[in-house]
Every structure is written in C-alpha cells, then in structure tokens.
Amino acid sequence: MYRLIKPIFFQFDPEKVHYFVVKRLKWFHDHFPLGQTILRGSFDVNIKGLEREVFGIKFKNPVGLAAGFDKNGEYIEALSDLGFGFIEVGTVTPLPQPGNDKPRMFRLQDDDAIINRMGFNNKGVDTLAERLRLLKSKNSDIVVGGNIGKNKNTPNEDALSDYLKCFDRLFDVVDYFVVNVSSPNTPGLRALQEKEPLMELLNTLQQRNSKNNISRPILLKIAPDLTNEQLDDIVEIVMTTGIAGVIATNTTIDRSTLQSPEPLRSEMGGLSGKPLTNRSVEVVRYLYTKSNKAFPIIGVGGIHSPKDAQAMLDAGASLVQLYTGFIYEGPGLIKRICKELVRKH
C-alpha cells in the first residue's frame, strides 16, 4: 500500500505532507476504535524474543522512533499503533519557538535522504509536559523519551538553565532523557559538545537526577561529524559523569557522498538517510569498542532495511531508531526489521 501512495506524497512539500499524514493517523486512532485494532493487527510486532531491558527500562521491541518526528508529543499513541517499541519526543525547549524560516525540509530522492533545518520548532516544554501527563494518566505502557534542548535566543553561557528547566518539567512524565547538543540547526549549539561545557552540563543534570528516590536514564545525542579524538572525549565524559548512555548519531553536515544535483545538495541543514548509514555504524562501533561495552548505545542514522538495523546492532547498539527510513520505506519497515531480528536469533 505504501508503495502506491508514496509517489503521491512525494509530489508535495515534505513538511506539509508530514503534518497531513500524522494528523489523520491521530484522528483515525482517536475517533475510530476499530481502526486501532486494524492498525495494531497490521503492524503488530509483539513477537516473543524481541523484548529487552536497557538502562533499566523494559522495551517490547528494540525499534524506536527518533526525536523530531513528534516534537510536541501529539501523536504518540497513534505512532505506537504502528509497532514502535518506544517513542522519543522533542526536541523541546523551555519556551515555544517557531523554528527557522520555511521551506526548511528537503527530500533528496536520488540519495534516499532528507535535509532539514527545522530549528527546534516546538510549542514549549509546558505544553509537552501536560500532554505526557495525560498519556500517563491512561496507564499507558508506551516507553517515551524526552529530547531536550535550548532556545535559539539563549546564549550558550546560559544554556544549562534551559536544559534544567526542561529536565525538571518532564521528570515525572518521561521514561528517559536525551540531551541534544548535536543539532546543526541551532546556531552555536554544537559548541556544547566540547569537553568542558559538556561535562558541566551533564554533571549538573546528574546531580539533579533524583526525585523521591527516583532517577531517569540520561542519554547524550552526538553528531556523526566528530573526530575519533572527540569520540574519545565522549567516552570519557559518559563514564565520568555516569550518564546512562549515548545516541549515535544526529544528522550530518557532510555532503561528500551525495548524488543529488545542485542546488538541492547544498541546502543548509542536517542531512539524514542512507548517506549516513555507514558513518553512524562506524561511530557506534567505535564507541562500543573504545568504551569496552561500558554503556548502552542507541543507534540511529540511515536505517532503511532489516539489514541496516542488524548492522547497527552488530556494531554494538542495544536499540535502534528510525526517522528518514520510516519516511522512505513506510511503516511496514518496523515489522520487517523485527521479524528479521527474530529469525536471525
């Protein structure tokens, strides 16, 4: 089915199509109970052998949705119907912000890729926290991660305050946190990946990470463009601060492997999709080996097939996430990955 409708979707602006699809998926979930049954029946991946526990959380399967797809937590239940083992929402900032000027998302169909420069567009942490509180009140068993960032107008020297605001506001309503300092679309943000500011940020969050004798796993999301020396620093930082693990990787600013023509290939923003497949796996393998398997890694970037997911897991990832592959291959990709993982194990 998706192969038939995908060419139609791809005739239109990608951001507009995104909201068109997810809003109708949510309506279907909310207003058509039989539809929920149909979706779950079609995409059910509650297959024995897929369950796993990572950083103290039980996941029904290892295939999650990466941050950025549902920034405001508006579509969690509907997306979960498609079979995801966990949903990561955000990136969220303390105050609402519109993001960068449109157009800000571009399909590179020759490369099975996307360039985006969204710029942390979101409705603010208060709105997200309230939505997640309502989800929790339903006794939902959906594992939800909260991806947190800073507002565009917040200078880097005050960034810690923004991360703390998001952390405190979401503490009771998410299962794990992701500290995003690796998006290329907020000016100056990647400077926070440098060793000194990153140590300060993560140490402060860890000190805050206790409430009624409860703590939440904190993960760090890193860029694929880091050098091996910088990755060595990441390993040291994770182990020194005691955070739960790493998400590797975010989008890349590298354009060296693209086949798409100009001016498309030179659009500003982060590149995701198949051009990122090999590099993401390399980063995961490097961190896994260098750390001597000391912490869990969630692998994301360029997963378009069961083979890609298996390569990421073989490299050392405990879980994987989809985004661009989900857009290009459709929701059936989740089930195909899960079935292949069961078959091979």
Kindly list the distances between the CA atom of residue 12 and the CA atoms of 3, 8, 231, in Å, as whole numbers in the listed order: 16, 8, 39
For residue 71, CA distances in Å to 10, 76, 115, 301 come to 22, 10, 17, 18
The single residue of 182, 183, 260, 272 carrying the catalytic annotation is 183
Return the bridge partners of 77, or none. Answer: none
> Which residues, listed in sequence order, are joined to residue 218 by a DSSP beta bridge?
177
Q: Which residues of 201-218 are buried (b: 16+ CB within 10 A; e: fewer)?
A: bbebbeeebeeeeeebbb
Q: Taking a C-beta distance cutoff of 8 angstroms, is the pair 66, 88 a contact? A: yes
Distance between CA atoms of residues 296 and 316, nearest Å: 8
Sign of CA dihedral 21, 25, 31, 37: positive
User: Phi, psi (5° rounding) for residue 115?
Assistant: -110, 130
Mark whether 161 is an active-site residue.
no
Q: Retrieve residue 315's tokens.
A: 């490299």
Q: Extract the tokens encoding 199.
A: 């140590």
CA geometry: angle at 267 spanning 257 and 20, to 5°? 105
Which active-site residues does the annotation give? 183
